Structure 1
Amino acid sequence: MNDSPGWATPGSSPSDGDRQGSPADRPGDDGGAQQPARPAGDPKWSAEQPPPGQWSSPGATPPGEAPPPPAQPAGGWGSRPGTPYGGQYAYPGGPGQWNQHPAAKPGVIPLRPLGLGEILDGSVATMRTHWRSVVPISLVVATVIQVISVLVQKYMLSDLPLSSAEDMTAEEAIDTLGSSLAVSVVNQFIQVLGTIVVTAMLTMVFSRAILGQHSSVSAAWREARPQLLRLIALTLLLALGIILIGAVLVLPGALAGNMGLAVVGFVAWLPLIIWLGIKFSLASPALMLEKSTVIKAFTRSSKLVGGAWWRIFGITLLTGLIAFMVALMVVAPFQMVGIFAFGGGMDALEDGSAQTAWGPLIFSGIGLIIAQTIIMPIQSGVTVLLYVDQRIRREGLDLELARAAGIENYGTTGG
């Protein structure tokens, strides 16, 4: 890897001239270089180091055991020479130690396997430290999304009858349902496009933040733009796959008029899409940071998630719950003000006019802009840091990140 945050495709082998440090700096070389002592007060080093007995030393063989057979490296930058894919890092509390050197912290995370708190803290720390890049990206995209959403909801629902459910005819009910579904589809499409842009740009900001480097909005856009179409294709392909699976499982029962069969199909479809969503949850950062193709990104995500599905599912679920609570706390007050101060109050809620009145729409949109400006960077950051964490655990990515951050002799052992 070179100093650029645009991470090379796994399997590529940068030339020696592209790598920082001499051959003696690399693990496994007998250069005789001693690990430098931790500099006092140096911000590139984590204040909290792993306690003894927590992390296994990469490549170390426990006493009394035969050395493992040689294995092929995982490939790509970040691979420890002689380290098999699957990695030598143990989870906290696992066997062995990882205390040969302190964990460097050039940016928002220490360069070692991360815990849940460190992943969430790294995401929030990036927002706080690099807000000049993060906030404008999220704010602009969230504003565009909500402006379009307000206009769509206002003009697509304004012609619907305001009859109560008891007085509504069958034709009016069908029109109302169709228009509501159309508005929902348009809003979701706009949301997805906005999320793709935010994900692409914030991934580049986070990749630099890990190295302790700043990234401007223009630089993030310049680095993300070449992969943007591929990211759109990746997102649409995943959505299409989910829809097709749902059609195969649910539609036969619905078309046959057998609601029991349709419910069984839906019950089978729901856990399947959750499983696929987590399995390919790291495809986006793999695509952006490794500059790979869509198919390779799906393959990389599948390999990185393998063996850690439940952990990634738990962290993703917790992040989603946090995002939901933040959105609820931010949006609800704006909605109440819009409905009761400018939207006609309870009467408007009962007859349905509140959903097309300017006051409730505008205030709800303002609340959603604020909420999305906070939520989107956190969710994008957690995904990127999960990807980095898995590569540290599997492929020793911390060594290459340390070199990219300019930390000399990181990870070397005495001769």
Structure 2
Amino acid sequence: MSDSQTPYGGIPQAAFGPPSADYRQLPPPAPAAWAPPPRPGLLPLRPLSFGTLLGAPFQVLRRNPAATFGSALITQLVTSIVSVVVIGGVGFLAFGRIDSALPEDRDAVTAGAWATVILASLIPLALSILGSALLQGVLVVEVARGTLGEKNRMGVLWKAAGRRLWPLVAWFAVLLGLIVIAVGAVIGLAVLIGVVGSTAIGDAAIGVAIGVGVLGALALTASGIWLGTKTALVPSIIVLERRGMLSSIRRSWGLTKNSFWKTFGVLALIGVILYAATQIITTPVSFIGGLVTSFLFPTGASADSASFVAVFVVTYALTLVISLVLGSIAAVVQSSAVAVVYIDLRMRREGLDLDLMRYVEARHAGGAHAVPDPYLVSSQRNG
């Protein structure tokens, strides 16, 4: 046998082992087990375009309506019922005492009634803060997990948001407190100028007080827009990065640096869209309700007052139901928009999209338990 016919280029085959070791006699490798491709998530794992930033919050509502819209409807419904029962019941009892009070005690009883109603209103206010914090947490978790292709039930989302509920409540309480203090300061300053200045410059003090009030309102509006945009990401950071309130404020301030107008533009445009859609629906309903009442009772309450009251109650109840539904939709979309902007900014600044891809791939391969939470920053993962 010539070298050209000798296996392995003329080198004796014995040098490579027996003929049974020939690779041509080995069985072919077993094919890898088939696995379905990863489920597409709520957001593409790349920096988002402006159109995606606007459309994704509405997609959250359509993708998981039972958990998102259901959570918003429950929180708003409970808050509304408690407000009506507490404030209405306390107000009825408190002001009912005025008619039976002695003339010399009527002023004191009236002042006590107003003080009682104001104190009672703190209960639904606290419940509203709690509900808003819970809903914000639920929607942040839904957007974050939905981006990874997950779809969770309401109970799972509530449980996840509940772990960060109290930092969220603290943030919403501080935010509300700052708004009340700022508005009260402007109103108090205007009233003080009007009262004190009237003794010095007479009626002109009223015009000065009005001017101070208008300028103060404009300054508060501008400051509120700026501070609101700079701290808009605080709830998302509290929930996803598990930070405290002060640390979340600093973090939101840093993430929105050089992205103020983009963040403000997305949130403001979504707010305008929701407001316009709400007005388009509620205005005809209110108009038709008033038109029907005027048509049935052109002179107002007639002898058949029970029918007038029934029509009024039905119209009011229908308007209230529509307002609750639209308010719930608006709450879902606006809260989701904040979470979407947060994820986009982290993709652009910190490469979050790469961390999300690694997590999805590891989960697809069955090793997600060995991959840290992709929403934690690198220092938290290493710690």
Query: Smaller-chain TM-score range?
Result: 0.5 to 0.7
* Equivalent in 34, 43, 57 of residue 109 of structure 1: 43
Larger helix share, 1 or 2:
2
Q: What's the counterpart of residue 395 of structure 1?
A: 350
1:229: Cα distance to partner? Answer: 1.2
Q: Deviations over 1:1-31 (max 9, x none)?
A: xxxxxxxxxxxxxxxxxxxxxxxxxxxxxxx
Structure 1 CA distance for aligned equivalents of residues 280 and 124 of structure 2: 22
Q: Which amino acid aligns with 1:285?
A: S
Q: CA deviation at 1:288?
A: 0.8
The residue that corresponds to 1:264 in the other structure is: 215
Q: Following superposition of structure 1 onto structure 2, how do residues 216-231 of structure 1 map, counting pairs within 5 Å?
A: 216-231=153-168
Question: Compared with structure 1, are the counterparts of its residues 373 and 239 closer, same or farther at alpha carbon in structure 2 (3 Å cutoff)?
Answer: closer
Are 1:232 and 2:183 an aligned pair?
A: no
Q: Work out which of the two has the higher radius of gyration on C-alpha atoms and give 1 or 2.
A: 2
Pairs aligned (count) = 289
Q: 1:155 to 1:387 in 2, by over 3 A?
A: same
- Work out the percentage of aligned pairs sharing the same amino acid: 24
* Structure 1 range deviating more: 199-208 or 330-339: 330-339
Counterpart of 1:17? Answer: none
| Structure 2: stretches of 5+ with no match in the other structure | 1-35, 97-106, 195-207, 302-307, 366-383
CA deviation digits over 1:204-253, x for unaligned, max 9?
11111010011111111111112111101101112222333344455333
Normalised by the size of structure 1, how large is the TM-score? 0.60
Task: Measure the CA separation in 2 of the matches of 1:212 and 1:152.
Answer: 42
Give the C-alpha shift of residue 122 in structure 1: 1.8
Paired letter, 1:109: L
Deviation at 1:153, TM superposition (A): 7.6
Instruction: For 2:292 and 2:80, locate their aligned partners in 1 and report how far apart those are by CA, in whole Å.
Output: 21
1:203 pairs with 2:140: yes
In structure 1, the partner of 2:271 is: 320
Partner Cα distance (2:169, 2:332) in 1: 18
The 8 Å contact of residues 334 and 366 in structure 1, kept in 2 or not, is answered as no
Contact 2:54-2:266 at 8 Å conserved across structures: no
Deviates more, 1:389-398 or 1:264-273: 264-273
List per-residue Cα deviations over 1:246-270 (Å, max 9, x = no partner).
Answer: 4445533321214133333332222
Residue 333 of structure 2 aligns with an amino acid whose one-letter code is: I
CA contact (8 A) 2:233 2:339 kept: yes
SS in 2 for 1:281: coil
1:375 maps to a residue whose letter is A
State the alpha-carbon separation in 2 of the partners of residues 156 and 381 from structure 1: 36
Query: Counterpart in 2 of 1:119?
Result: 53
8 Å CA contact 1:319–1:379 kept in 2: the answer is yes
TM-score between the two structures when normalised by the length of structure 2 = 0.65
Q: Does 1:242 align with 2:179?
A: yes
Contact kept, 8 Å, 1:326 with 1:375, in 2: the verdict is no
Q: For residue 245 of structure 2, what is the aligned residue in structure 1?
A: 294
Deviation at 1:322, TM superposition (A): 1.3
2:164/2:242 contact within 8 Å kept: yes
How many Å apart are 1:196 and its aligned residue?
2.1
Cα distance in 2 for partners of 1:254, 1:117 equals 46
Q: CA deviation at 1:327?
A: 2.0
Between the aligned partners of 1:389 and 1:345, the Cα distance in structure 2 is 56
Give a deviation string over 1:134-182, Cα, whole Å, max 9, x none: 232122223223334555686678879xxxxxxxxxx9xx99xx79x96
1:56 alignment partner in structure 2: none
Q: Indicate the structure whose relative CO is greater, using CA pairs within 8 Å and at least 6 residues apart.
A: 1
Maintained 8 Å contact 1:335/1:367 = no
Q: Which moved more, 1:243-252 or 1:336-345?
A: 336-345
CA contact (8 A) 2:238 2:244 kept: yes
1:295 shift after superposition: 0.6
Q: Distance in 1 between matches of 2:253 and 2:158?
A: 27
1:214 aligned to 151, 157, 179, which one? Answer: 151
Q: Is the 8 A contact 2:134 2:162 kept in 1?
A: no
Segment of structure 1 superposing worse, 394-403 or 239-248: 239-248
1:283 is displaced (CA, Å) by: 0.5
Structure 1 residues 254 and 377 mapped into 2: Cα distance closer, same or farther (>3 Å)?
same
Tell me, yes or no, if the aligned pair for 1:338 and 1:363 is still in contact at 8 Å: no
